[in-house]
Structure 1
Amino acid sequence: MGKSAFVFPGQGAQYVGMGKEITENFSSAKEVFEEASDFLGYDMKKLCFEGPDEELIKTENTQPAILTTSIALLKVLENEGISCDMTAGLSLGEYASLVKSNVIRFADAVRIVRNRGKYMQEAVPQGLGTMAAVLGLGREELQKCLMECQQYGVVETANYNSPGQIVISGEMKAVQSAVSKAIEFGAKKAVILPVSAPFHCSLLKPAGDRLKDDLLQYSFNSPEIGVVTNVDAKLLEGKDAVIPSLVKQVSNSVLWQDSIEFMIKEGVDTFIEIGPGKTLSAFIKKIAKNINMQIETKNIEDMESFKSLINSF
């Protein structure tokens, strides 16, 4: 029997209505939303279920909203007796995997990510930075492309999502020049993303420093199940590694492809995506195909996906 992993999505997966069906059907999910509302001082159910979208997409709201939805779904699964051998999350999603492995309490995580969102948003004035997705270009070619664009400012790799999909981040002019240059280098497509700040690049170091001051006020436990970190694509070593890893994560590349490859090599053949959307499942299928491995992906975000997931066990 192979191993299973729970994976949690990051920012960009949010939509108005996320978590609503599950919360209407399970009191354990409802409790998570109520807990988040108590700790943050606003109505998390209203934000996630009714929006409006322009409030939900504010980074300091998006991050706790996605985390709350993911943990609400997680509780429902856990109550069904479904667990995992390993866990990982994309950027913000890593906080959900830390909650899953009891490294951090949900109550603490939801407060930390609200501030994380705020700090990431405030690190670079609106309009000065952006991100772009580059499709169909290898890592080395992309690095050469970025080197040529650094005369216009900071531009770095932010996310290694899957083979042929890398996200870059940095100052507006540099990213724009990299988008046009990437095509010359052989990219199939390069598009500016609708984000409010240049996440996961060195411009966000100040946000990491502010986050560190926050994190030092909380206590962490050693992971009860393996957590694969974004910054190293390997297992979190213990509670002392939590703060350095989370601080670095804000301004470093997210090694998602590498993390999934690591888990597959460790024997994981079933990935369950917990949270809004199915973006990670799409990445994971591509990553597995690229290394000729057979895996299965499942997801839970509403009643239909919940029922089909439960029936598959």
Structure 2
Amino acid sequence: MGKLAFVFPGQGAQAVGMGKDIVEADPEAKRVYEAADEALGMALSRIILEGPEAELKATYNTQPALLTTSIAYLERFQARYGLKPDYVAGHSLGEYSALVAAGVMSFADAVRTVRARGEFMEAAVPSGQGAMAAVLGADREALKSLCASISGEAGIVELANLNCPGQIVVSGSVAGVQAVGERGKEAGAKRVIPLEVSGPFHSSMMRPASEKLAGVLSGIEMARAAIPVVANVNARPVQDPAEIRSLLVEQVYSSVLWEDSVVWLIAEGVDTFVEFGSGSVLAGLIKKIDRSVTVHSINSLEALEKFQIESV
């Protein structure tokens, strides 16, 4: 068997009721949700399990909610199977779940940090001034050049998420993102789909949020990663706490190099990925990057129990 990586989804994967089956079946999983409530001093678990959806979709709720769900599934999985990965990685917000999995941050600190991160990201750009869009079928370098030329004319637009071949998310000002919609064909885009988001995440417009986050992170105790964490910013493994801190600050306004991270992991010998949390977004992206690898999504009690039959 090759190497094993645990991966964790980011914003967009959330759904009302995520983790409900495991919370109802497992007192230990329920304790993870209770610990999140305690860390924040609010009933986050009620929003996760019951909604309403509009409340869950608020960035400052979505981020701790996804982290909590991922860690609940991860802890129950590890209690059952005792598997230790060779690497961990997360998509944007999911990087914090990866850091908890690697022993860098405590769960309570991570929940509080991503709550603050969500608030800072939401407040960084006045409502209605920023936008994001998924660009399908474009050539990466051609799209990068197009964004650079638009940024010089119509307003900021940058590559935000490099998810898999043919799927790149752009982010920036409303005018900049609209211009990519109008001129995307120049970069080979087949479709440009506006995304429902509350801000231009992973663009230089998020620098005010990153500065505030730096202040929060400076007060968080971090240990050396017990498992290498493949960082979004440079798609390379990191273990040193000081380096992790600075990469987390940079991550807020930088591209999420997800495709590059997965390609690097596969080149290092990873042939099995296990995704923890809501949905199976990352499983889909990983399969588009390399169909030959094995991917499991631990996103329900059934998936957790079925894993044993398939894999161990």
Instruction: Give the structure-1-normalised TM-score.
Output: 0.97
Tell me what 1:215 maps to: 217
Residue 148 of structure 1 aligns with an amino acid whose one-letter code is S
**Per the alignment, in what secondary structure is the counterpart of residue 126 of structure 2?**
coil
Q: Which residue of 1 aligns with 2:268?
A: 266
Counterpart of 1:2? 2
Does the CA-based 8 Å contact 2:262-2:289 persist in structure 1?
A: yes
**Counterparts of 1:195 and 1:207, CA distance in 2:** 16
Aligned to 1:296: 294
Q: What residue is the counterpart of 1:186 in the other structure? A: 188
Q: Counterpart of 2:46?
A: 46
1:64-79 map, 5 Å: 64-79=64-79
Classify the secondary structure of the residue corresponding to 2:290: helix
SS of the residue 1:148 aligns to:
helix
- Cα displacement (A) at 1:145: 1.7
Give the aligned CA root-mean-square deviation in angstroms.
Answer: 0.9
Q: Is the CA contact 1:183–1:190 (under 8 Å) kept in the aligned structure 2?
A: no
- For structure 2, the 5+ residue unaligned runs are none
Equivalent residue, structure 2, for 1:152: 154
Residues 36 and 45 in structure 2, CA contact (< 8 A), matched pair in contact too = no
Matched, 1:305 2:303: yes
- Match in the other structure for 1:15: 15
Q: Is the 8 A contact 1:90 1:254 kept in 2?
A: yes
Secondary structure at 1:251 match in 2: coil
Partner amino acid for 2:93?
A: L
Cα distance in 2 between the residues matched to 1:311 and 1:85: 22
Secondary structure of 2:12's partner? coil
In the alignment, the residues of structure 1 paired with residue 218 and residue 251 of structure 2 have an alpha-carbon distance, to the nearest angstrom, of 16
* Contact residue 9 and residue 273 of structure 1 kept, 8 A: yes
Q: Answer yes or no: is the 8 Å Cα contact 1:90–1:256 preserved in 2.
A: yes
Q: In 2, distance between residues paired with 1:90 and 1:27? A: 28
Task: Work out the CA distance in 1 between the residues paired with 2:11 and 2:102.
Answer: 21
Alignment of 1:30-179 (within 5 A): 30-80=30-80, 81-150=82-151, 151-179=153-181
The question of 1:247 aligning with 2:249 is answered yes
For 1:117-173, what per-residue CA distance to the aligned partner results, in whole angstroms no more than 9, with x for missing partners?
000000000110010000101111102221232211110000100001000000001
How far has the Cα of 1:85 moved from its partner?
Answer: 1.2
**Distance in structure 2 (CA, Å) of the matches to 1:110 and 1:47:** 15
SS in 1 for 2:238: coil
Instruction: State the shift of 1:28 in Å.
Output: 1.6
Segment drifting more, 197-206 vs 232-241: 232-241
Separation of aligned partners in 2, 1:210 and 1:117: 11
Paired letter, 1:137: A
Deviations 1:193-226 (A, max 9, x none): 0111000000001100000000111110111011
3-state SS, counterpart of residue 64 of structure 1: helix
Q: After TM superposition, give the deviation of residue 186 of structure 1 in Å.
A: 2.1
Distance, in Å, in 2 between the alignment partners of 1:70 and 1:211 is 22
3-state SS, counterpart of residue 252 of structure 1? coil
Q: CA deviation at 1:49?
A: 0.8
Q: Figure out how many residues of one structure are paired with residues of the other and give that number.
A: 309
Give the counterpart letter for 1:159 in structure 2.
Answer: N
TM-score, normalised by the number of residues in structure 2: 0.97
Give the AA of the match of 2:36: A
Secondary structure at the counterpart of residue 102 of structure 1: coil
Unaligned regions of 5+ residues in structure 1, if any? none
